[in-house]
Amino acid sequence: MQHSIKDILSLLLVLIVVVAVLWFFLSLVRIVVFIPVSFWGAVLLILGTIIVIILALDHFLNFL
């Protein structure tokens, strides 16, 4: 399955726009949650969140 340069650049542009919008929105929101977890628990939580986001993007974009 080959993708043209135009397809890859358009996907990259969409991802950059989505990241910029999320960055802007999340920079305005100030939510602080204190959860007493160990260091490795926090690492696993962050990695799990990143994996869920990547899988959701892969599902909805069906291109990655």
Residue 50, SS3 per DSSP: helix
Residues with Cβ within 8 Å of 34's Cβ and at least 6 positions away in sequence, in order, are none
Q: What is the pLDDT of residue 40?
A: 92
CA distances from 20 to 10, 25, 34, 52, 61 (A): 15, 9, 26, 19, 17
Range 22-33 burial, b when 16+ CB lie within 10 A, else e: eeeeeeeeeeee
This prediction has a pTM of 0.46
pLDDT tens for the chain, 64 residues long, are 566 777 778 888 888 888 888 888 878 877 777 778 898 988 998 899 899 888 887 777 775 5
Q: What is the pLDDT of residue 57?
A: 79
Domain limits, the chain? 5-61
